Structure 1
Amino acid sequence: MIPQFKSKLELLKFLSTECIKFMKEIDIQHPQQIGIQNSYASTLNYLAKTEEASGGCHFISTMLYILLVEQGIECDLIVGEVENFEKGIRFSHSWVEVRGAIYDPAIMHTLDGAVHPPVYHGVCLTYEALEMEYGVSDSQDELDRDAKQVLNKSVTAYLDEIAKFGFPKNYLWNEILKAGTGILGYTNLSRLRKKYDSHFRVLKTSGEV
């Protein structure tokens, strides 16, 4: 029987819980598999309980990226065009790749209000076929305005920019630290700002292997 949900957040919380169970069954053949699992689960849980995170792929991918990097896990923060070939639509998006495999919790709750299966190690966490193709554009010219802007900003510049919209400068950093409780431990924000001021997104296009 399919459960009945009173709200989208209730659905997302249920989906997040079920997807994390499935995620733990996937052996990704990585020496830091547990760290990757914990980071992904923390990010997915944050997304599932935060209404404002809808369509926040640039932030959610940044959160996952920092949680991974702070554990010494090599990964890339990616921006590019994604095509849903089932619906025939294309949109600008951010995600993380570890050894070339796609990790995309943010796809679960997109700006258009749709709910999609989150992607872990290139696998949909609902046993469905992956309906998205990542990195389908030919150049950055095809990105939307927001994607072009985040591509050209460091991680620190991107996170600090929230102050322009009336939020405290530390707002997004603190959200990452809360999501990473139990993973990051005590972390000095000055150190993080300095470190991630030299970290940038990588553009993925259709010409890459």
Structure 2
Amino acid sequence: MIPHFNSKLEFLQFLSDECIKNMKKFELNHQQEIGIQKAYASTLNYLAKTEEASGGCHLISAMLHILLSEQGIENKLVIGEVEDYEANTQFSHSWVEINGEVFDPGIMHTLDGNVHPPVYNGVKLTLDEESMEYRVSNDKESLDKDAKQLLDKSVTAYLDDIKNYGYPKNYLWDEILKAGIGIIGYTNLSRLRKKYDSHFRVLKTK
């Protein structure tokens, strides 16, 4: 029986919960698997509960990158083009890779308002057949304007840039720390800013 949902956020939370259950059935063969699961689940739950995060793949991927990195889990923050075969569209997008595999909670709620299954270790967490292909462009010229600008910004510069849109400078950092409660605990924002000022997105192409 298909549940009835009163709002999109209610549906997103249901999808997030179901996908987290499926995530725990996977064996990553990674010595820090539990840490990866915690970071991914926290990021996915944040997206499901935060209406403003729709289309926020750059924030969601940065959040996952930081929650993983703060646990000492090696990962790459990636930007590139994704092709959706079902919708016959191609769009600029950010995600995280661990050992070359895609970890992409942000795809769950894209800028066009559509809902997609989140990707974990290269697999849809709804266990459906894959309908999206990552790294489909040849060079950075395929990226949209916003994505091109991100290539030249450190993670810190990107997160601090929110102040230019009328928000407090710490706004996105505070959101990341809120999502990461129980994972990274108390930490100093000055330390985070200094550390992630040397972290940049990696352009992935064919």
TM-score, L = length of structure 2: 0.99
Alignment RMSD (CA, Å): 0.5
Shift of 1:87: 1.9
Shift of 1:134: 0.3
Look up the match of 1:203.
203
Unaligned runs of 5+ in 1: none
Look up the match of 2:50.
50
Look up the match of 1:89.
89
Query: Does 1:71 find its partner at 2:63?
Result: no
Shift of 1:86: 2.0
SS in 2 for 1:91: strand
Shift of 1:174: 0.3
The one-letter code matched in structure 1 to 2:74 is: E
The one-letter code matched in structure 1 to 2:54 is: S
Deviations 1:21-54 (A, max 9, x none): 0000000100000000000000000000000000
Deviations 1:112-168 (A, max 9, x none): 110000000001000101111001011001100110111110000000000000100
Look up the match of 1:163.
163
Look up the match of 1:154.
154
Unaligned runs of 5+ in 2: none
Shift of 1:19: 0.4
**Which residues of 2 match residues 97-136 of structure 1 at below 5 A?**
97-136=97-136
Distance (Å, rounded) in 1 between the aligned partners of 2:125 and 2:154:
30
SS in 2 for 1:64: helix
Distance (Å, rounded) in 1 between the aligned partners of 2:194 and 2:160:
12
Segments ≥4 residues shifted beyond 4 Å = none
TM-score, L = length of structure 1: 0.98
**Which residues of 2 match residues 31-50 of structure 1 at below 5 A?**
31-50=31-50
Identity %: 70
Query: Does 1:3 find its partner at 2:3?
Result: yes
Distance (Å, rounded) in 2 between the aligned partners of 1:48 and 1:86:
23
Distance (Å, rounded) in 2 between the aligned partners of 1:129 and 1:170:
40
SS in 2 for 1:82: strand
SS in 1 for 2:26: coil
Shift of 1:199: 0.4
Distance (Å, rounded) in 1 between the aligned partners of 2:195 and 2:127:
38
Shift of 1:57: 0.2
SS in 2 for 1:96: strand
How many residues align structurally? 206
